[in-house]
Structure 1
């Protein structure tokens, strides 16, 4: 029986992009073909919106009515219209707590202001890594608390992985029940609104689009993809995915350096074509 999938949700780093943080030619051509067939595309990432935008443009998502789910589900944007469909923001009063902890522990804190990364430590190696990853410019400030554009969807404290453990433990305890604190990389401490979750945000999007979870395919590799892989009608893990993600998936494709996205799309969406 021919598939009934009408929505494809893709994580970016470790999934859609290869080790060079690029979309391979095969992945690109396969996803353009998929959208031409009428399937809508959603890019779902912990990245800020401006860090996802170049990939959305390469995939011609504006033309094909795609959506961006940024900040790990904190915002959903209809890329064809620019309409903000959903947002979840940090409480303003937690920002001084986050800032004080970062400074006391000798770490850099950053947030996002449209196309810029805002920080007091523009030369920090991990701040530079985040800027490179998202293809965003750094805007230095001498007063982070003054210049941060409240309310914020997310902050990031970055630094040496071992030392970051102390900050993570401290903020998890102090802000328990108020925000979510977790590491997306050993050197990146994510500070996001409580309840941020890709699956929860995708449930909102599905309702807006008039689709069901059974009509959705979701692909990912990291712990923050677990919920959407379990939630989707078809959950796909990359070969390079974390072990719990692979165990939760309905199907495991090739790695992000082996065009795993294209392989899965060809199998799930095009294999029944005559």
Structure 2
């Protein structure tokens, strides 16, 4: 493993503290036994859109951890908004995949912030932002500062972005490379965002549209799946022992990546088509029976 920081021709910066040898990991002989890597989306999978976490969900995650499996929170959320949930679930060691895969961190109780950054990918958001601003002049724009918060053109609806918020001029959003851009148009719709993204042809980035008029933009090729593959390789878990549960468009690559991809019942048809299984919706705590199924087998 090595420490590295490099910029490619497209303006993307990669910072690795412990970079796993992914090709060597992929060549590792498969094993049908051993712990599972369990990747869990947060919003709409573990917690409701009103931020409610069921006791049943807490209990089954505790049981899965006690059985020796790796539970990895994988979300579009920023790292600082994921660590409190990890603490609430008593996940105090292991890994987190944040910002749709652009940030991979290892939980460490001895670290000042409770985690160590293991992998960060950033990019120049200027070209995408300028394109979007032409079509959405009244939208709200934000860029993430890892471990701190966001720089924004104006405040987002309460509770949508965590950490410190600094209001800046639009041009200041690309004063430095970032891990993620968030575009929010409260008066628009998800369908309109999908049409817009296809029409303007965003290049050299990866984007995902949420349930509302919300778009996340990340470095090209960066998804929850790319972040989770790094974690899998570092842990030495066989590809056949990977499970992922999610409900959103930003979960599609993750569900396809996992040997066992499970979509929540309320997910769109496109998300369900990407998964091998479908469970109950968030109101039915659909993640619970999926996790319980891991407790019926021996490591």
TM-score surpassing 0.5? yes
**Is 1:58–2:83 an aligned residue pair?**
no
Q: Separation in 1 of the partners of 2:289 and 2:281?
A: 10
Q: Separation in 2 of the partners of 1:92 and 1:165?
A: 19
Greater fraction helix: 1
Aligned-CA RMSD value: 2.7
1:257 alignment partner, SS class: helix
Gap change, CA 1:191 and 1:230, over 3 Å in 2? closer
Matches within 5 A, 1:96-175: 97=130, 100-101=133-134, 105-113=137-145, 114-122=147-155, 127-129=156-158, 132-134=159-161, 136-137=162-163, 139-146=165-172, 150-159=176-185, 160-161=187-188, 164=193, 168=197, 172-173=200-201, 175=202
Alignment: residue pair count:
258
User: Conserved in 2, the CA contact under 8 Å of 1:239 and 1:254?
Assistant: yes
Q: Which residue of 2 aligns with 1:88?
A: 121
Q: Separation in 1 of the partners of 2:267 and 2:229?
A: 23
Match of 1:207 among 221, 230, 233: 233
Q: Separation in 2 of the partners of 1:39 and 1:111?
A: 34
TM-score, normalised to structure 2's length? 0.76
Gaps of 5+ in 1: none
Runs of 4+ in 1 over 4 A off after TM superposition: 2-5, 162-167
2:47 alignment partner, SS class: coil
TM-score, normalised to structure 1's length? 0.82
Q: Separation in 2 of the partners of 1:55 and 1:255?
A: 20
Q: Which residue of 2 aligns with 1:78?
A: 106
Gaps of 5+ in 2: 1-31
Gap change, CA 1:169 and 1:241, over 3 Å in 2? closer
